[in-house]
């Protein structure tokens, strides 16, 4: 649930940067519209659906992994506090790395087209720079979730070893 809500909020922000990323790419990718010529109503609702669809499964995988690690704790209290902190770590790292994606996209990618040469960018996109920045944010955010998970796993193991000393 947390990941899905994160995805909804994340995509509302990135939609504000590049509506075309959604109307000409993501909505089609997720099968929410037929093609570029489909009239679109309730754009923000479709953005929310896209955000949910793109992230719920990431949170599910991360949640299962963190739950399994939480079971290693010595008490129910340690299990809950360690889990909450691990989730917050994962979210914080994903946000920070997503911001790094914005910075990288804004400062480097838009000035070096070779950095996104293999990307699918529909010919009808008029604001390529914003499209690329949002693509960079999305890619970095997934890397942020993975990095956050790794840090949360390390945190979990550290907490367990502290309980044993």
Q: Give pLDDT, residue 34.
A: 73
Check residues 158 and 66 and name the one with the higher pLDDT.
66
Q: How far is CA 89 from the centre of its chain?
A: 14
Across the range 127-139, mean pLDDT stands at 98
Q: Give the C-alpha separation, 5 to 56, whole Å.
A: 8
Q: What's the pLDDT band for 36 if we cut at 50, 70, 90?
A: low
Q: What's the pLDDT band for 164 if we cut at 50, 70, 90?
A: low
- Given a cut of 60, whether residue 45 has pLDDT beyond it is yes
For the purposes of burial, counting CB atoms within 10 Å of the CB of 124, is it exposed (0-12), middle (13-18) or buried (19 or more)? exposed
38-42, 121-125, 135-139, range with the lowest pLDDT: 38-42
What is the DSSP annotation of 10-49? HHHHHHHH-HHHIIIIIHHHTTSSSSTTS----HHHHHHH
- Given a cut of 80, whether residue 73 has pLDDT beyond it is yes
- Given a cut of 70, whether residue 6 has pLDDT beyond it is yes
Q: What's the pLDDT band for 50 if we cut at 50, 70, 90?
A: very high
Per-chain mean pLDDT for the chain: 92
Q: Give pLDDT, residue 35.
A: 62
- Given a cut of 70, whether residue 7 has pLDDT beyond it is yes
Check residues 98 and 38 and name the one with the higher pLDDT.
98
């Amino acid at each position: 649930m947390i990941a899905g809500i994160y995805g909804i909020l994340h995509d509302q922000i990135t939609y504000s940067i590049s509506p075309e990323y959604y109307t000409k790419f993501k909505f089609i990718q997720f099968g929410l519209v037929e093609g570029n010529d489909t009239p679109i109503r309730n754009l923000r609702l479709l953005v929310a659906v896209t955000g949910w669809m793109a992230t719920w499964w990431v949170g599910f995988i991360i949640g299962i992994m963190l739950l399994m690690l939480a079971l290693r704790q010595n008490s129910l209290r340690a299990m809950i506090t360690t889990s909450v902190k691990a989730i917050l770590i994962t979210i914080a790292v994903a946000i920070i790395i997503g911001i790094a994606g914005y910075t990288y996209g804004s400062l480097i990618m838009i000035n070096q087209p070779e950095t996104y040469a293999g990307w699918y960018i529909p010919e009808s996109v008029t604001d390529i720079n914003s499209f690329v920045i949002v693509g960079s944010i999305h890619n970095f955010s997934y890397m942020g979730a993975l990095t956050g998970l790794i840090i949360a796993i390390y945190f979990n193991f550290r907490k367990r070893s502290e309980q044993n000393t």
